């Protein structure tokens, strides 16, 4: 029982947590295997943001339970948000699960697997089950080890856990707990080490990154702790690009807007969750901004960086959302001209304030509104692609593309580009002339005079 496969659902935070668990398991002598079939331990790192995500993981765990019938020593673990949200109750629906580990206990996974293994070796007759979902002070500091592939160019760094915003629809404050930030010096050290190991682009992660350090550090000269952190990461030699996710519109004060004009490594791509364009719905959602304020942030950022790329999160069909409310969202969505957007149909999360609200919106209406925004997004994306044709973009070369035929990298605006290159350019910023575009991928050629492919 030492070959582990970790399957990750949900957001980049989850991906990062899985990577840290993998690193800790490796250090303990476990092998992380690349496919499910060769594993004898299967860990599902789960998401609870929408019901669908939970159902997927539950379906997977039931399927794995069949495998366990054939091989009783097969170990099934459920980690992360759904483990935290449902706890031991999961065992009622999934009696074959061996391990349930919450969002503040990822670092305990190696110990728990060791204990399960010891119980198996001792020939335990009854199944041994471990449920560990307590809160733990300082747990945000345990997500720090990395598993880097050979010549890995990009990495995620977790700077903060939890969220105190209490948006009326959101389960995250329950699954991830209170906002807790890591010490700035530790984050900077981790980024420096990654740069020493060849990483060139870092994405800082948190549930609400723009609030980073608000209880731990002072503003200095009008500069928030988050922007202070950006400044320090920007100063790390070797790093070439910085991104972050997810921010809150509330965090885009003058200091952060101005940072886009002066921190040269900060990429001009902002994920700015709007959720709704109706002031009435924003209020019901407990989102502390108006549509005008949101629009103003977008305009301010475009003023500092005219070539700014935007993405967003939208929820359609929040309880009480009328056709007029949705029209407000549609209009603001169109005006902001997003390059990327995640449009979600509202999903009832029990225990959140919105779950108890009147006027839940029928599924067909949610679907219709969803389609309206997706069509707009497609038009925007095509329009943006058309403006990119013939231009030369700065691309960070990440490695071979999926087919292994060409190389892939991203523009500063986070667009994926495929082009012919040479291995030695991995990790370099290169100019690429764009000559073709599909919705998801741009195609181009190196525009380097004198550089051989």
| Chain CA centroid to CA 328, Å | 27
Q: Work out whether 163 is an interface residue with ligand F3S (CB under 6 A).
A: yes
Q: How many residues bind ligand SAH (CB under 6 A)?
A: 18
* Binding partner selected for residue 165 from ligand SAH, ligand F3S, none, CB under the kind-specific 5 to 8 Å limit: ligand F3S
Q: How far is the CB of 4 from ligand F3S (least distance, A)?
A: 29
Q: Work out whether 170 is an interface residue with ligand F3S (CB under 6 A).
A: yes
- Count helices and strands (H / E) in the chain: 13, 19
Q: Which residues of 156-182 are buried (b: 16+ CB within 10 A; e: fewer)?
A: bbbbbbbbebebbbbbbbbbbbebbbb
Stretch that binds ligand F3S, among 13-21, 34-42, 57-65, 163-171 (CB under 6 A): 163-171
Per the structure block, which two tokens stand in for 349?
A: 């999360």
Q: Work out whether 401 is an interface residue with ligand SAH (CB under 6 A).
A: no
Q: Work out whether 165 is an interface residue with ligand F3S (CB under 6 A).
A: yes
What is the contact mask toward ligand SAH in residues 273 to 312, using x (rule: CB under 6 A)? x-x-------------------------------------
By the 8 A CB rule, do 38 and 6 touch? Answer: no
Residues whose CB falls within 8 Å of the CB of residue 121, separated by 6 or more in sequence, listed in order: none
Helices (H), 182-289: 184-196, 225-234, 254-262, 279-285
Q: Work out whether 180 is an interface residue with ligand SAH (CB under 6 A).
A: no
Region 230-249 residues binding ligand F3S, contact defined as CB under 6 A: 248
Task: For ligand F3S, give the closer residue by CB, 104 or 385.
Answer: 104
Residues whose CB falls within 8 Å of the CB of residue 163, separated by 6 or more in sequence, listed in order: 170, 172, 173, 176, 179, 207, 208
* Binding partner selected for residue 344 from ligand F3S, ligand SAH, none, CB under the kind-specific 5 to 8 Å limit: ligand SAH
Q: Work out whether 313 is an interface residue with ligand SAH (CB under 6 A).
A: yes
Burial class (CB in 10 A: 0-12, 13-18, 19+), 315: buried
Per the structure block, which two tokens stand in for 268?
A: 């001009």
Q: How far is the CB of 172 from ligand F3S (least distance, A)?
A: 4
Task: For ligand SAH, give the closer residue by CB, 15 or 300.
Answer: 15
Stretch that binds ligand SAH, among 23-31, 52-60, 75-83, 169-177 (CB under 6 A): 169-177
Region 179-238 residues binding ligand F3S, contact defined as CB under 6 A: 207-208
Q: Compute the distance between CA of residue 286 and CA of residue 64 in angstroms, rounded to an integer.
A: 39
Report the DSSP pairing between strands 407-411 and 416-420: antiparallel
Region 35-74 residues binding ligand SAH, contact defined as CB under 6 A: 49-50
Residue 231 main-chain phi, psi, to 5 deg: -60, -45
Stretch that binds ligand SAH, among 53-61, 227-235, 346-354, 371-379 (CB under 6 A): 346-354
Q: Residues in the site for ligand F3S, rule: CB under 6 A? A: 163, 165-167, 170, 172-173, 207-208, 248
């Amino acid at each position: 029982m030492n070959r582990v496969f970790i399957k990750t659902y949900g957001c980049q935070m989850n991906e990062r947590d899985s990577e840290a668990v993998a690193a800790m398991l490796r250090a303990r002598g476990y092998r992380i295997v690349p496919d499910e079939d060769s594993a004898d331990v299967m860990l599902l790192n789960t998401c609870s943001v929408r019901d669908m995500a939970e159902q997927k993981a539950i379906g997977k765990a039931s399927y794995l339970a069949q495998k366990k019938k054939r091989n009783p020593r097969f170990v099934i673990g459920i980690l992360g948000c759904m483990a935290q949200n449902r706890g031991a109750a999961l065992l009622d629906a999934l009696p074959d699960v061996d391990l349930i580990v919450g969002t503040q206990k990822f670092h305990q996974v190696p110990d728990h697997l060791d204990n399960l293994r010891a119980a198996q070796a001792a020939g335990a007759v009854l199944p041994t089950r471990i449920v560990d979902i307590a809160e733990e002070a300082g747990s945000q500091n345990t997500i720090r080890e990395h598993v880097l592939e050979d010549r890995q160019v990009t990495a995620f760094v977790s700077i903060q856990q939890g969220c105190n915003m209490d948006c009326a629809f959101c389960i995250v404050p329950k699954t991830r707990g209170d906002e807790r930030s890591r010490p700035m010096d530790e984050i900077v050290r981790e980024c420096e080490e990654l740069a020493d190991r060849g990483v060139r682009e870092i994405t800082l992660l948190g549930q609400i990154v723009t609030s980073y350090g608000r209880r731990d550090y002072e503003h200095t000269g009008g500069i928030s702790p988050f922007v202070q952190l950006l400044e320090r990461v920007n100063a790390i030699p070797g790093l070439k690009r910085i991104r972050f996710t997810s921010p809150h519109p509330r965090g885009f004060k003058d200091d952060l807007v101005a940072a886009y004009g002066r921190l040269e490594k900060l990429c001009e791509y902002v994920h700015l969750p709007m959720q709704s364009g109706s002031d009435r719905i924003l209020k019901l959602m407990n989102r502390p901004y108006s549509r005008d304020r949101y629009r103003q942030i977008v305009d301010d950022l475009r003023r500092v960086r005219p070539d700014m790329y935007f993405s967003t999160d939208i929820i359609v069909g929040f309880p009480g959302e009328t056709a007029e409310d949705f029209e407000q969202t549609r209009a603001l969505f169109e005006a902001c001209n997003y390059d990327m957007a995640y449009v979600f149909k509202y999903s009832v999360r029990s225990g959140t304030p919105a779950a108890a609200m009147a006027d839940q919106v029928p599924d067909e209406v949610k679907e219709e509104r969803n389609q309206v925004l997706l069509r707009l997004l497609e038009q925007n994306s095509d329009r943006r692609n058309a403006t990119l044709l013939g231009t030369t973009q700065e691309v960070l070369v990440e490695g071979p593309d999926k087919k292994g035929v060409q190389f892939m990298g991203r523009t500063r605006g986070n667009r994926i580009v495929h082009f012919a290159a040479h291995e030695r350019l991995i990790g370099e910023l290169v100019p690429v002339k764009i000559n073709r575009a599909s919705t998801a991928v741009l195609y181009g050629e190196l525009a380097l005079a004198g550089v051989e492919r």
